[in-house]
Amino acid sequence: MKKVSLVLCLLLAGSLLLGNLSLGLINVAAKTESLSNTPLSGFVGVDVLGIDLRYDVGLLYLGAATPFLMFTLSEDTGVKSSLIIPGIAWYGYIGLKLDFGVFYFKGDIGHTFAFGEQLQLGFSPLRLGFGMNFSPSYYIELSVDTVLQKFNETVGKIFDFKIGYRF
């Protein structure tokens, strides 16, 4: 058991030396009627704040994000905020990043899933965007997202913004 633990620790330390681990705050805004086929009267949009953990190795990156706060905007009720328990819903993704000095282009595909029966997730977003490095540690990103299962209804209606720190 000690040998297995030692090998796992060495693999983790080696992979962290080859790549970058980053933590960020992500904001996803969507202007849509409904992503879960629920008819909502006067529904205008949704805005979700979350925490994003990502690991970059060369051109490849993979990560996971979990929301903690959601705002909905409706003509009927106005702005309404909802606290989400972090870790109850997840978005896992894998993608490629092309560096051009301070700027970079990125694209990824992922899948959403949730724990609990009340949450209706299970869609696969495709994100294309660009980012800017402010220093070796700080960066910002802006992406246009679409849901593959509802491509025509969501293309150009979902955006995300991320600010992060690389360790």
DSSP conformation letters of 110-138 = EEEEESSSS------EEEEEEEEESSSSE
Residue 83, pLDDT above cutoff 80 = no
For the chain, give every domain's residue range. Answer: 20-166
Q: How far apart are CA 28 and CA 103, in angstroms?
A: 21
Taking 70 as the threshold, does the pLDDT of residue 162 lie above it? yes
Strand pairing class (60-74; 78-83): antiparallel
Report pLDDT for 135.
86
Q: Which fold has domain 20-166?
A: Porin (2.40.160)
DSSP conformational letter for 33? S
Average pLDDT rounded to a whole number, residues 136-142: 92
Do 52 and 23 meet the contact criterion of CB atoms below 8 Å apart? yes
Residues 86-96 pLDDT 10s:
888 899 999 99
